[in-house]
Structure 1
Amino acid sequence: MERTIRIFILSVIFLASQINCQEAILHISNGETDREYCIVHNHSWTPLSQTLDSASQFPLVNMTSTLLCNGSGVSPDVVKGKALVVMRGDCTFSQKALVAQSLGATTLLIASNRTLITPSANESEYAKVRIPLALMRYRDFLEAQQVFGEDMQVKLYAPPHSKIDPSIAVMLLIAIVTIVLGGYWSGECERDRMNGGAEQGGGGDRKADSGELFLYSPLKVVFFVALMCGMLVLMYFFYNILVYVIIAIFCLASASALFSCLDAVMEKIGCGTLRFSVRNWNFSVRSLILAAVCISIAVIWGVYRNEDRWIWILQDLLGIAFCLNFMKTISLSNFKICVILLSLLLVYDVFFVFITPFFTKNGVSIMVQVALGPDASGEKTQGNMVEVPAEPQTPSEKLPVVMRVPRFLAWAQNLCGMQFSILGYGDIIVPGLLVAYCSRFDVWINSSRKIYFVSCCIAYLLGMIMTFAVMLLSGMGQPALLYLVPFTLITSAVVAGCRGEMRQFWAGTTYEREELTAP
């Protein structure tokens, strides 16, 4: 049952994606009061000024009583040299813009009761529209009317969002620290087991921990990946039901993982050894306190999981603990299994990201749809459009399968919603299993410099840097395994080959093989 749950979780934690934002800011003032609101524009069609100071200011004319699909009934003297706000509907954005432009308006705002989308037009009409055009929420306009009345001066500007955001460095730090700690923990557990086996008369009698799972057969690895494929497809078709199952499992698994991590730290520093007994039951004060803390953190996350402003901190904390515990408990017995598993998961990742859009009805990859939820708008609009709800909505449930860090440079300007850099747990766990094997192999060969572990960690770091570099250059989210798997596998193989230990590295250690084949 435990193995099935782990496979179920691992099958949906692979992709990170980013949206190329085209939000802008509507600044309204009356000389005494200022307010700013979210608007959506098309920077390749009607570019806006990048700063408030450089933006031109115009008086706003309220024409929400009309759709402005034609100029009948509108006096040019009323709108000339001013910004207009009209209602959305009945005709295209470009048609409204051309009518406003012919009347002498300088800016067109389209108020919408529906989801705000990046405005577009036929290619032949792009060059005809020479005034700024943007969509705003109708409820925002009504609020502005209550604050300013009809005396509104407006400016439209679009602060540039730097592609290189500090959140990338934070995400890189989270990934590499998790990989290093997980590999180190796995190696130390292996050392403890070997020392325990030696004290009992030899390594051949060493037994795996009761909670440890081994992947040692190529056939079982293929079966493992096939189960992941099946479960991912099930998640795609039954997302609205299974998402709550995954959330519940994550709360339990992450609380248990966080307890395991904190307990190992306390054990290492020798903290909290007080125990007491109740009716022949022995209890550790440390364990009770840690259990209460870990369960509380998981429950708080479960209750406030859709609160963007701060809940990402708890999700990342639980995610780090989950990844660490996964790397410690799932053991790959030799490099051959590492090659097979990581290669199959690379194919799995690429297929469900790049190939499945050709088969889905909405053109969204199965991986993105599952990882980001039904409202994965960045993918639905090919990564260069945005969708902003016109009215407050209950957030759709998303799987807790990614590390999330807000884009700090855009924090103060997020009137349309917070923007996040994300990294799938799978991009940490999958290469992390190889890092953990390298760490255990260093223990088996008694490598004082931990050459395999260190080199694999460096390869992972370089692979992550390559991933972020390609993402920044292309402006699109990248399946990180496409870079991480080759970097880590090739580096580990080169180190083993240069040291003349490839045969042992490929096959694992003698006592490991004996244990795995023992009845």
Structure 2
Amino acid sequence: MGKAVRIVTLSLVFLVSQINCQEAILHISSGARNKDYCIVYNQSWTPLSETLDAALQYPLVNLTSTTLCNSSGVSPDVVEGKAVVVLSGECNSSQKALVAQGLGATTLLIANNETLITPSANESDYAKVTIPLALMRYRDLLGAQQLFAEDMQVQLYAPPYSRIDPSIAVMLMIAIVTVVLGGLWSGACERDRLMSAAESGGLGENKPDSGELFLYSPMKVVFFVGLMCGMLVLMYFFYNILVYIIIVIFCLASASALYNCADAVMDKIGCGTLSFSIRNWTFSVRSLILAAVCVSIAAVWGVYRNEDRWIWILQDILGFAFCLNFMKTISLSNFKICVILLSLLLVYDVFFVFITPFFTKNGVSIMVQVALGPDASTEQTQGNLVVIPAEPQAPSEKLPVVMRVPRFSALAQNLCGMQFSILGYGDIIVPGLLVAYCSRFDVWINSSKKIYFVSCCIAYFLGLMVTFAVMLLSGLGQPALLYLVPFTLITSAVLAKCRGELRQFWAGTTYEVLDSSREPLLTEGRIDYSIEGAKC
């Protein structure tokens, strides 16, 4: 019985994960030559075969000299038993299909010079049309004529692709690795600071390292979140101007972050440094080489940022370094600050994703509009509607604020335009700041098993899994913080309560807080300054 239930459950998951897309493939062949092209169809109106082997092959008749709104001037002998391609315009798709069907055609292709939109008709026309109907780009037809001349055989098929795409696993791995490494790096830096304080006899014990920024005031956290809200609104209204400023800032910040990460790795593996002096200036050969490489990578991304086919690799590398460096540089001083910051950002995320569509003109949330750029309102797939440009268009600028991994299984979609799985930097950094705090707290209490750090990482992983599961089942993008924040905050709080350390966990760091008279609740007696560990 249990085995049967598992089989039924797996079958349901598999069926739910399959999508019958509105995009399909036009396979044209002539002799040994063949090529695939993007087409758009209505799967609820004229369904297509799912595989090329199952698709019937027909000769293609070029009737682009007519729009086929009526049968005048077209002989049934020319089109009977064949696929027909005609021009769009003058009448709707269903009328063209009925005329072609009446002449004995087996398939109708409508060549379009404008945007390809999923063909539709009145409900009464759906049952009348029995032949496959699809829209194709007119430029694709011209290219096929040059490649195959007039002897063309066509097959139409629409391979279903799974929502559970391998790109999701890659995205999950990137997020987890970033958060784990960021937390370990922050903990190593804290251990290094404590060891340095012990070696100096306690001098500077309560001072953060230079280059680190500690958030310890709730008012500063509120101001920070308010600033983020203001920036997002400004980006929505002045996107075309501010996007270039953000791109320049990202290039500089990511190059610096990549340098810091690479330099830390070099220190960890014990790579020596050669130095030379020029007029009282001392230069490190390693630093110069690393700086040149990091600046070059950022510059290449800046120049080719709109090249979808491969530039996503560089963007993810730079984003990975940016998130790591941010988690190491920005530190939350106690769990109270963690709760305030993560809760406010949760409200911020949900509001700008779910609430703002009710106020925008195009019904697209401000968060999506800013993250995806001006094309967000005409994304390829909007429910049952597909919108694809018929002609090449100048790429629109997009903010470099997301990790991007192409969908590996979307063959038809990549013909029509590359599809990506995305995850915002904020969905990594925000929970990552809590993970980093847990890692530092493990150092403060001398936890050899890193119990807080490991637990928070597991909670982050489970939160991401729930996020992706809801996204796959609903078919809609999700504000990841809606799931990540409760998972990580509740797990950390419950763990601290069960271990009897909630008071210390809430109070946090022993760093001096100049604008507060509160005495630190974390007892210094629990810190072992003799711990050996990685240097920051």
Q: Please say if 1:79 is aligned against 2:76.
A: no
Q: Against the structure 1 CA distance between its residues 276 and 31, is the aligned structure 2 distance closer, same or farther, given a 3 Å change threshold?
A: closer
2:307 is matched with 307
TM-score w.r.t. the length of structure 1 is 0.92
Amino acid at match of 1:512: Y
Amino acid at match of 1:177: V
CA RMSD in angstroms, aligned pairs only? 2.0
Contact 1:20 1:383 in 2 (8 A): no
1:8 is matched with none
Contact 2:413 2:419 in 1 (8 A): no
Show CA shifts across 1:69-111 (max 9, x none).
Answer: 3333333333222211111123222232223223322211110
1:285 is matched with 285
Aligned residue runs from structure 1 range 49-448, under 5 A: 49-202=49-202, 205-377=205-377, 382-410=382-410, 414-448=414-448
2:520 is matched with none
The structural deviation recorded for 1:320 is: 0.2
The structural deviation recorded for 1:496 is: 0.6
The structural deviation recorded for 1:218 is: 1.4
Q: Against the structure 1 CA distance between its residues 209 and 93, is the aligned structure 2 distance closer, same or farther, given a 3 Å change threshold?
A: farther
Amino acid at match of 1:292: A
1:25 is matched with 25
Range moving further from structure 2, 352-361 or 317-326: 352-361
Inter-partner Cα distance in structure 1 for 2:121 and 2:241: 38
Inter-partner Cα distance in structure 2 for 1:59 and 1:235: 51
Range moving further from structure 2, 500-509 or 225-234: 500-509
Range moving further from structure 2, 150-159 or 408-417: 408-417
Inter-partner Cα distance in structure 1 for 2:31 and 2:206: 79
Q: SS state of the match for residue 408, structure 1?
A: coil
Q: Please say if 1:512 is aligned against 2:522.
A: no
Amino acid at match of 2:206: R
1:35 is matched with 35
2:502 is matched with 502
Show CA shifts across 1:229-278 (max 9, x none).
Answer: 11001111111111111111110000000000011111122212222222
Q: SS state of the match for residue 511, structure 2?
A: helix
Show CA shifts across 1:382-414 (max 9, x none).
Answer: 344332221222211111111111222335973
Contact 1:182 1:436 in 2 (8 A): yes
The higher relative CO (CA closer than 8 Å, separation ≥ 6) is in 1
The structural deviation recorded for 1:417 is: 2.1
Aligned residue runs from structure 1 range 461-476, under 5 A: 461-476=461-476
Inter-partner Cα distance in structure 1 for 2:382 and 2:130: 26
Q: Against the structure 1 CA distance between its residues 139 and 130, is the aligned structure 2 distance closer, same or farther, given a 3 Å change threshold?
A: same
Inter-partner Cα distance in structure 2 for 1:54 and 1:411: 17
Show CA shifts across 1:117-150 (max 9, x none).
Answer: 2222334433332221111110111121222233
Amino acid at match of 2:348: Y
List alignment gaps of at least 5 residues for structure 1.
Answer: 1-18
Inter-partner Cα distance in structure 2 for 1:127 and 1:360: 37
Inter-partner Cα distance in structure 2 for 1:488 and 1:123: 49
Amino acid at match of 1:47: P
Contact 1:464 1:484 in 2 (8 A): yes
Q: SS state of the match for residue 121, structure 2?
A: coil
Contact 1:86 1:110 in 2 (8 A): yes
Range moving further from structure 2, 405-414 or 361-370: 405-414
The structural deviation recorded for 1:515 is: 6.2
Calculate percent identity across the aligned residue pairs. 82
The structural deviation recorded for 1:311 is: 1.1
Q: Against the structure 1 CA distance between its residues 419 and 95, is the aligned structure 2 distance closer, same or farther, given a 3 Å change threshold?
A: same
Q: SS state of the match for residue 415, structure 2?
A: coil
Inter-partner Cα distance in structure 2 for 1:345 and 1:96: 52
Q: Against the structure 1 CA distance between its residues 284 and 83, is the aligned structure 2 distance closer, same or farther, given a 3 Å change threshold?
A: same
Range moving further from structure 2, 219-228 or 73-82: 73-82
Q: Please say if 1:459 is aligned against 2:431.
A: no
Inter-partner Cα distance in structure 1 for 2:191 and 2:202: 13
Inter-partner Cα distance in structure 2 for 1:413 and 1:372: 18
Inter-partner Cα distance in structure 1 for 2:125 and 2:484: 44
Contact 1:373 1:396 in 2 (8 A): yes
Contact 2:113 2:390 in 1 (8 A): yes
Show CA shifts across 1:140-174 (max 9, x none).
Answer: 11121222233222110112212222111111110
Range moving further from structure 2, 187-196 or 247-256: 187-196
Contact 1:272 1:285 in 2 (8 A): no
Range moving further from structure 2, 213-222 or 297-306: 213-222
Q: How many pairs does the alignment contain?
A: 499
TM-score w.r.t. the length of structure 2 is 0.89
Q: SS state of the match for residue 403, structure 2?
A: strand
Q: SS state of the match for residue 162, structure 2?
A: coil
The structural deviation recorded for 1:21 is: 4.9
Range moving further from structure 2, 364-373 or 19-28: 19-28
Inter-partner Cα distance in structure 1 for 2:445 and 2:127: 69
The structural deviation recorded for 1:455 is: 0.2
Q: Against the structure 1 CA distance between its residues 74 and 502, is the aligned structure 2 distance closer, same or farther, given a 3 Å change threshold?
A: same
Q: Against the structure 1 CA distance between its residues 227 and 53, is the aligned structure 2 distance closer, same or farther, given a 3 Å change threshold?
A: same
Range moving further from structure 2, 201-210 or 105-114: 201-210
1:487 is matched with 487
List alignment gaps of at least 5 residues for structure 2.
Answer: 1-18, 518-536
Contact 1:20 1:475 in 2 (8 A): no
Q: Against the structure 1 CA distance between its residues 125 and 211, is the aligned structure 2 distance closer, same or farther, given a 3 Å change threshold?
A: farther
Contact 2:158 2:412 in 1 (8 A): no
Range moving further from structure 2, 283-292 or 268-277: 268-277
